Amino acid sequence: MSDLQQAAGGPLDAVDLAARVVQLVETGRRESTYKLATLMALIDICVEHSPAPDGTLTVPIDEISHRFVGYYWPQVRVFHQHGRLAQSRQGRSIPDKIADAKQVLLQDGLRTAEAAREVGHPAYRSLVRELRTTIAQQPLTHLQTVPRSRIRDDFLFDASEFHKKMTVTEIDRIGVIVLWPGVPEGLRRTSTLLRTFLRSRWAQDVIGFNRAELDAEDLDGFLFGSDRTALRALAEPLRELQNNRCFYCDGRIVTEVHIDHVLPWSLLPIDGVANLVATDPRCNLGKSASMPVLEHMSRALSRTSLSDIASATRIPLLYKRTDSAARGAYAALPTGSVLWRAVGSYEMYDPSHPNG
Ligand SMILES: [Zn+2]
């Protein structure tokens, strides 16, 4: 436990923890978006995984590296006339490496980062390994320090073995970071707030690094929206599976099919078939980024024959990940949260009657 935690007599509560994260992000000038990506990764991992009985969570450095690929994969597309957007002040960056590997992977028919991870493509594997070094040397080393100072308080995890010249051997030996007791639970409970905050800072940084007039609202959708073209292959198989009916309202799909992320993409970016359904445009647009009632989520997870669709389209199933993310996301929801059932129809979340 860090000195500060000891002085305060125990783990930080969730609100104080979130306040510390916000303060950390707001202090000093950033050279790249990597700290933001690291924090985002830690939050997503905390939502998807339960802590150990002592309240800690062990996070492999490799897992953070996988998340980096997932976040930057859609972001390395061309943004209008601006081309590929810079994500750091200088130097060859993590997104450049991801863009190079992505080209190779796309040629091999792998349309999403998750698909590449699932098949363990060599280009993907070496990318993750290469990024891991940069992630250990930079954001994991510097995450909890005030830029250009020696002020450091390891309130999230013990970073004393991390430094900016870490070798592959050292990283192999360390292998993981361990989030302090209370941190996983605190990050999970404040995940929605923190994610929204991190996204806005991320978009702001990108505007700063590119010195161009970028439209902030347009940019947010570009940076953090799902790459829908990658999912187009699912439209017909899912429509067929659902007998040409909308997953939510059961109406016939007469116009175009929309693919909806049951657990909203903005909440947890999971492009797995287990999290995707075919809907009519009305329900998809009506639901937008809302959290659905639990019943929709359970129905999505109880579908059969999804693995055939996953192998035919080469979009991974990600059942376990979707299932544990859903558990984590609902567990983090405060009582009274508004959930979406149908267009114009919402319900208050009551964990004591989860199916109500
Ligand atoms: Zn519908």
Identify which has the larger pLDDT, 141 or 11.
Answer: 141
Which of 102-111, 223-232, 259-268, 280-289 has the least mean pLDDT?
223-232
Stated as kind and residue range, the H or E segment containing 139 is: none
**113 CA to middle of ligand 1, Å?**
29
Reply yes or no on whether the pLDDT at 240 is more than 90. Answer: yes
**279 CA to middle of ligand 1, Å?**
5
**170 CA to middle of ligand 1, Å?**
53
Reply yes or no on whether the pLDDT at 355 is more than 70. Answer: no
**71 CA to middle of ligand 1, Å?**
29
Q: Tokens standing for 63?
A: 């897992």
Reply yes or no on whether the pLDDT at 266 is more than 90. Answer: no
What band does 280 get if pLDDT is binned at 50, 70 and 90?
very high
> What does the pLDDT average to over 48-71?
96
Single-letter code of the amino acid located at 328: G
**280 CA to middle of ligand 1, Å?**
5
**203 CA to middle of ligand 1, Å?**
32
Q: Tokens standing for 57?
A: 């969570």
**250 CA to middle of ligand 1, Å?**
6
**351 CA to middle of ligand 1, Å?**
26
Reply yes or no on whether the pLDDT at 314 is more than 60. Answer: yes
> What does the pLDDT average to over 108-136?
94
**311 CA to middle of ligand 1, Å?**
26
Nearest alpha carbon to residue 145 among 132, 161, 134, 159? 159
Reply yes or no on whether the pLDDT at 91 is more than 70. Answer: no
Q: What per-residue confidence (pLDDT) applies to 214?
A: 83
> What does the pLDDT average to over 313-336?
92
- How far separated are the first and last CA of the chain, in Å rounded? 41
What lies within 8 Å, CB to CB, of 13 at 6+ separation is 182, 186
Reply yes or no on whether the pLDDT at 132 is more than 50. Answer: yes
**238 CA to middle of ligand 1, Å?**
14
**286 CA to middle of ligand 1, Å?**
9
What band does 92 get if pLDDT is binned at 50, 70 and 90?
low
**247 CA to middle of ligand 1, Å?**
6
Single-letter code of the amino acid located at 219: L
Nearest alpha carbon to residue 74 among 289, 260, 197, 224? 224
Nearest alpha carbon to residue 114 among 354, 340, 320, 292? 320
Q: CA-to-CA distance for 235 and 212, rounded, in angstroms?
A: 36
Reply yes or no on whether the pLDDT at 330 is more than 70. Answer: yes
**283 CA to middle of ligand 1, Å?**
4
**333 CA to middle of ligand 1, Å?**
25
The predicted-structure confidence for 161-218, as pLDDT tens digits, reads as follows 999 999 999 999 999 999 999 999 999 999 989 999 999 999 999 999 987 788 877 8
What band does 90 get if pLDDT is binned at 50, 70 and 90?
confident
Q: What per-residue confidence (pLDDT) applies to 9?
A: 55
Sort 81 into a burial class: Cβ within 10 Å, 0-12 / 13-18 / 19+. Answer: exposed
**295 CA to middle of ligand 1, Å?**
15
Q: What per-residue confidence (pLDDT) applies to 152?
A: 85
> How confident is the prediction for the chain on average, in pLDDT?
91
Reply yes or no on whether the pLDDT at 7 is more than 60. Answer: no
Q: What per-residue confidence (pLDDT) applies to 337?
A: 93
Q: What per-residue confidence (pLDDT) applies to 60?
A: 98
Q: What per-residue confidence (pLDDT) applies to 305?
A: 87
**248 CA to middle of ligand 1, Å?**
5
